[in-house]
Amino acid sequence: MAITGGCYCGEIRYEAEGDPIMKGECHCRECQYITGGNANDFMAMPEPGFRYTKGQPKQFTRPDLDHPVTREFCPTCGTHILTRAPSLPGAVILKVGSLDDTSLFGQPQVVMQTADAPSFHHIPDGIPAFERWPG
């Protein structure tokens, strides 16, 4: 699968190739902050098939957490592009909203952190869902 995407203002562009490692939806509080209140739809792709083709993102890693993720986003418009997580080495976790063709996502294979979901969040029927991280 070949994927292209980027940010809202066009300063950041990327390409990703390979088979998705995972397609998910997360309802944790951290993801709610990142999305502005919604769940976070994401697609984990193999890191070796990923590259930025235009621009360089800004990175943010919370220093107060034991195993923090690193978030990459456009320094101009703030669009979140991806996350790099120590728990998923060898992958980049692309934000579905940054894909040029969001239909490539299809639907999540798993829904996580439903215990943090506010009442207005929709948990899809028929998809494995976990109150906390599956494991």
Task: Specify the pLDDT at position 18.
Answer: 97
What pLDDT was estimated at residue 29?
87
pLDDT along the chain (135 residues), means of 10: 97 98 91 87 97 98 93 97 95 97 95 87 88 74
In angstroms, rounded to a whole number, what is the distance separating the alpha carbons of residues 93 and 23?
Answer: 9
pLDDT at 48: 98
What local confidence, expressed as pLDDT, does residue 34 receive? 86
Residue 32: what pLDDT? 86
What pLDDT sits at residue 134? Answer: 65
Please check whether residue 98 is in contact with residue 79, taking contact to mean a CB–CB distance below 8 angstroms. yes
Q: What pLDDT is attached to residue 71? A: 96
At 133, phi and psi to the nearest 5? -60, 130
SS3 116: helix
> Which structural domains are found in the chain, ordered by start?
2-116 (2.170.150.70)
Q: pTM to 2 decimals?
A: 0.90
